[in-house]
Amino acid sequence: MLVSEFLDTLSGYDIAGAYWVNLKLTAFAAVLALVLGTALAMMRISPVTSLRWAGTTYVNVVRNMPLTIIMASMILVLWPQLGLTLADDFATNFFRLAVIALAVYHASFVCESIRSGVNTVPVGQAEAARAIGLAFLPAARLVILPQAFRGAIAPLGNTLIALIKNSTVAAAASVPEISVLMREMVENDANFVVPIFLTIAVGFVIIVVPVGVLTTYLSRRLAVSR
Amino acid sequence: MSAQAVLFDTPGPKGRRNIAIGNIVGTVIVLGVLAWALVQMGSKGQFDPAKWAVMVDPETWQFYFLPGLQNTLTAAAYAIVLAMVFGLLFGVGRLASNSVIRGFCGLVVEFFRAVPVLIMMIAGWFSAALLLNIPPEDAPLFGVVAGLTLYNGSVIAELVRSGVHGLPKGQREASLAIGMTRGQSLRSVELPQALIAMLPSLISQFVVILKDTALGYIITYPELLRSARLVGSDAPFPILQAMAVAAVLFIVINFLLSWAAGRLARRFGGRSSGSGKPAPRVGITTGLAGTADTRDETGGN
């Protein structure tokens, strides 16, 4: 029976383990990207021209560069050529380099999401903050950013979904995640390519759809009513 | 941009002085980071003239970069055309009055948007030779184009749908009033305007397609990134330099595309009653409640 044969094939691989690697990549990269992206967004809305310029340049350069190049550069250039080593054993080192590549890339999208959140804050809020004597940093911290984050949940959620899917690109940094496993599976059992694809694709649907539902719910629930 | 200007007052003398100080500090930090990076590169011998000489050698371009660029552009061109076809087909399908067609198209579109492009590329790559009798040397190209078409076609289908939904209701009502059928109204009144309104988002999506051809590197398609790697794998191993050239090429092409998008949007902006902004969408995986454009949403993948 073909179905049971296929299920036998599946049971020979650690699919859940491979997905777990993707989720770990996503979690670490998401935190780093959020920190870096928020800092970039602050730079881009600050009154200091040089910081604004640096933030804009970063976003424009990184957004127009393929993630695959950043990922490949990590293990072809940064590690062997420039000697950036983040851990003693190979696997951990590659994993950390992949996390950094994902964070560096998605930080530019986080920055743009937060900026679009800042744009949902009415002018009157900033004017009121200035009127009561708040300088740029206190106004940003106390008035603008709290509202901006709530307005940015939907685009941030989309960035998170993109990050989950893009964690497969870590294959270019030799991290043994799900796309590497899938390649191994179809190489060994090429006649099952379609069912293997559907199995792994459905796994992503199961991960991605709840994230989408949750962020949509949160963005409505936490929206600042005006 | 408008919101940025109001976050702070027009600075007075003291504010200007603070900004000047901030500027100096900021510049010093940025330049400091750059200088540190350059010193690090220098200490690892990355400024060895021999490594950079390879980048300006005409033969490097003739045998590596230009063929790689050509393969990248070929894959992108196929994918753009096919994704447009796919997107129009399924976008119109999602607007159909028949609920079975609408539901089916919706399911297909949401499914392919939730699956990573790389997974689809690997599937396409292996099924090409096995199921579709495509010669093995063409299998990587097929994989790249198949993955890009399915994913970006689905995104374009959403753009088409939201573009049509974003038109004023009066457009359809007027065409129905002069005796057109719903199909005629869609084809000759609504779609043309929706396409113009969605032009900026559409071209952003083309940038995504072009960037994502680099994923072909993982499935052995000989595109620009792979050529760069080949350039860097021979003595004097100028891999950093080759990667930099590839990155700059990608950035320049994408900048030109984005710039063209801005021009086109301004040029044609008056010819549509749509706003050019996608209407809020209700798809599950999109989770869009607000203002994100497609670039935000895909993260460029």
Closest CA to B285 of A213, A107, A226: A213
Burial of A210 (0-12, 13-18, 19+ CB in 10 A): exposed
The predicted-structure confidence for A147-157, as pLDDT tens digits, reads as follows 999 989 999 99
CB contact under 8 A, B6 and A127: yes
3-state helix, strand, coil split of chain A in percent (to 5) is 80, 0, 20
Once rounded to an integer, what is the mean pLDDT over residues B81-96? 94
Give the Cα separation of B153 and B86 in Å (integer). Answer: 5
Comparing alpha-carbon positions, the chain B residue that sits nearest to A65 is: B251
pLDDT cut 70: percent of chain A above it: 100
**Any CB–CB contact under 8 A between B119 and chain A?**
yes
Give the Cα separation of B18 and B22 in Å (integer). Answer: 6
Max CA separation in chain A (angstroms): 76
Angle (CA) B140-A29-B293 rounded to 5° is: 70
| Nearest Cβ partner for B9 among A130, A165, A205 | A130
Do you know the residue count of chain B?
A: 301
Once rounded to an integer, what is the mean pLDDT over residues B207-218? 93
pLDDT of res. B87: 95
| Nearest Cβ partner for A186 among B126, B215, B290 | B126
The predicted-structure confidence for A173-222, as pLDDT tens digits, reads as follows 989 999 999 999 998 888 888 999 999 999 999 999 999 999 989 988 88
| Nearest Cβ partner for A208 among B114, B126, B212 | B114
Query: pTM of the entire structure?
Result: 0.87
**Any CB–CB contact under 8 A between B259 and chain A?**
no
In angstroms, the separation between the Cα of residue A213 and the nearest Cα of chain B is: 6
Give the Cα separation of B4 and A148 in Å (integer). Answer: 12
pLDDT at A57 over 90: yes
CB contact under 8 A, B6 and A139: no
**Any CB–CB contact under 8 A between B130 and chain A?**
yes
pLDDT at B128 over 60: yes
Q: Cβ(A178)–Cβ(A168) under 8 Å?
A: yes
Angle (CA) B205-B206-B211 rounded to 5° is: 95
Q: Cβ(A207)–Cβ(A166) under 8 Å?
A: no
Q: Is the peptide bond preceding residue B236 cis, with omega within 30 degrees of 0? A: yes
The predicted-structure confidence for B23-37, as pLDDT tens digits, reads as follows 899 899 989 999 998
Using an 8 Å CB-CB cutoff, list chain A residues near B246: 69
Amino acid identity, position A42? M
**Any CB–CB contact under 8 A between B5 and chain A?**
no
Instruction: Give the N- to C-terminal CA distance of chain A in Å, as an integer.
Output: 61
Using an 8 Å CB-CB cutoff, list chain A residues near B51: none
pLDDT of res. B289: 32
Average pLDDT score, chain B: 84
